[in-house]
Amino acid sequence: MSENSCPVLCFGEVLLRVSAAPGHPFASADKVDLTVGGAEANVAAALGQLGVPAKMVSTVPDNPLGNRAVRGLAASRVDVSGIARMPGRMGLYFYQPPVGSRAGEVIYDRAGSAFSNSDSCFYDFAGLLGSASLLHISGITPALGPHGVTLVQAAAAAARKAAVPVSLDGNFRASLWREWGGDPAAIMRELAASATILFGNYKDIGMMLGEKFSSETEGDRAAAAQAAFDQFPGLKLIASTQRTVHSASAHSISARIDTPEAHWESRPVLIEDVVDRIGTGDAFAAGVLMRWREDATLYAIGSAGLALSALKHGQHGDMLTISRSELERFDANAGDVAR
C-alpha cells in the first residue's frame, strides 16, 4: 500500500451545531439550523472531498442524532468505519453569529456526551494506525476534562509506537479548560512533544512554553517558531494564520509556514462579506496536510491552506464543501460568476 493511499486518521469528538440566524439572539430566536461539525471532523471532511483518504475515529450515541453526524461525514467521503456507537447523548454547541457591533458567541453543551464517556480501551488505536499515514488530533479533546486528556494521550502514544506522524492543532478553548481547572500548558507541551506538525501561532506557542511572543514583525514570528522547534525536536513543520478583524463581515488573513531550516509567509488576503468564520482554521489545516503529504514546497503548502481557509469564510456551517478543481481555480480577488 503506497503512503498516499493510507488514510489520515482524525480523532476527536463529532458535534452537532445549532445556529441562530444572524441578528436573532438565542434569547429571542424561534428558528435554528442544525449542521455537523467538530474540529477534527471538519479536517477529515475537507480532506475527503479533496480526494485525500481520511478516516474519522470517534464515538457517537446510538440514536438519530448520532446517525445524522455519521451521515454528514460519510457524505464528504470520509471513512466512518472508525466511529463507534454507545448509549449516551450527542455533543452539541450553540452558535450565535456576529452581526454589526454584536460579537459572535459559542455555548458548549458537551458534558456527559457519548464521546466524553468513551474509554481509551474502547479504541483499537494500534489496529487503526497500522494502515494510517498520519494521526490528526487537537487541543479540544484534552480541554474536555481528565477523561479527554487520557483519550488523546492514548492516541498519541499509540502513534509514537507505530511510528505514525502526529499532526496537532492547538485549538485553545479557554471556556472548556476553565470548567475543570486543567493545566493546558503542561498537557499541550506533552502532546506537542509527540507532534511532527503543529498548527499554532505565537499565542499558542507562548501558552505552551510560558513565554510571551509578539507577532509585530516577521522576526518576532520567526522567534516564536524557533522557540517551539528548540523545545520540541520532533517538530518538522509549524503552520499558522494571522487574522485582522475589520468588522463582522470583513477580515484579513495571512498564512505562515515554518520549518527548522526555512519559512514562507503570505501577504494578507482581504475577505469581504464573511458568511461564517467557524471552521476556517480546520480548512487551513486540511490544505496544509494535503500538500504536506505530497511533499510540496512551503509556498504550495501554505497557499493551499490559505485558499481553503479563505473559501470557508464564504460557506455556512462548520465543514467546507470543496473539490480539488475548485481549489486549483481559487483566486482571492474573484467574485464574479464562473461560466
- The tens digit of pLDDT for each residue in 156-194 reads 999 999 999 999 999 999 999 999 999 999 999 999 999
Q: Which of 130, 149, 134, 126 is nearest to 237 (CA)?
A: 134
Instruction: Kindly report, residue by residue over 202-225, the tens digit of the pLDDT.
Output: 999 999 999 999 988 889 999 999
Cell of 276: 461564517
Q: How confident is the model at residue 100 (pLDDT cuts 50, 70, 90)?
A: confident
Element (H, E) at 16: strand 15-20
pLDDT at 332: 58
Please identify which residue in the block is written with the cell numbers 509556498.
Answer: 299
Mean of the per-residue pLDDT values of the chain: 93
Instruction: Kindly report, residue by residue over 289-302, the tens digit of the pLDDT.
Output: 999 999 999 999 99
Rounded Cα distance between 277 and 251, Å, is: 9
pLDDT at 1: 42
Instruction: Kindly report, residue by residue over 49-78, the tens digit of the pLDDT.
Output: 999 999 999 999 999 999 999 999 999 999
Q: Which of 104, 122, 106 is nearest to 114 (CA)?
A: 122
Instruction: Kindly report, residue by residue over 103-137, the tens digit of the pLDDT.
Output: 889 999 999 999 999 999 889 999 999 999 999 99
Q: How many CB atoms lie within 10 A of CB 165?
A: 21
Q: Is the pLDDT confidence value at 15 over 90? A: yes
Angle of helix 39-49 relative to helix 280-293, nearest 10 degrees, comes to 50
| Interval 20-33 mean pLDDT | 88
Q: Is the pLDDT confidence value at 102 over 90? A: no
Q: Which of 77, 65, 75 is nearest to 14 (CA)?
A: 65
Q: Is the pLDDT confidence value at 2 over 60? A: no
Instruction: Kindly report, residue by residue over 318-335, the tens digit of the pLDDT.
Output: 999 999 998 988 865 554
CA angle 295, 57, 42 (to 5 degrees): 65
Beta strands 237-247 and 197-199 are parallel
pLDDT at 243: 95
CB within 8 Å of 165: residues ≥ 6 apart: 133, 134, 135, 159, 196, 197
Please identify which residue in the block is written with the cell numbers 468513551.
Answer: 118
Instruction: Kindly report, residue by residue over 265-280, the tens digit of the pLDDT.
Output: 999 999 999 999 999 9
Q: For residue 121, what is the DSSP state?
A: G
Rounded Cα distance between 60 and 77, Å, is: 18
Q: Where are the beta strands (DSSP E) in 114-224?
A: 134-138, 166-169, 197-199
Q: Are 133 and 7 in contact (CB under 8 A)?
A: yes
How many residues does the structure list for the chain? 339
Q: Are 142 and 191 in contact (CB under 8 A)?
A: yes
What is the percent of the chain with per-residue pLDDT over 70, rounded to a whole number? 96
pLDDT at 29: 86
* pTM, entire model: 0.95
* Domain 3-238 is found in CATH 3.40.1190.20: yes
pLDDT at 336: 42
Q: For residue 267, what is the DSSP state?
A: P
Instruction: Kindly report, residue by residue over 134-163, the tens digit of the pLDDT.
Output: 999 999 999 999 999 999 999 999 999 999
Judged by DSSP in three states, 73 sits in helix
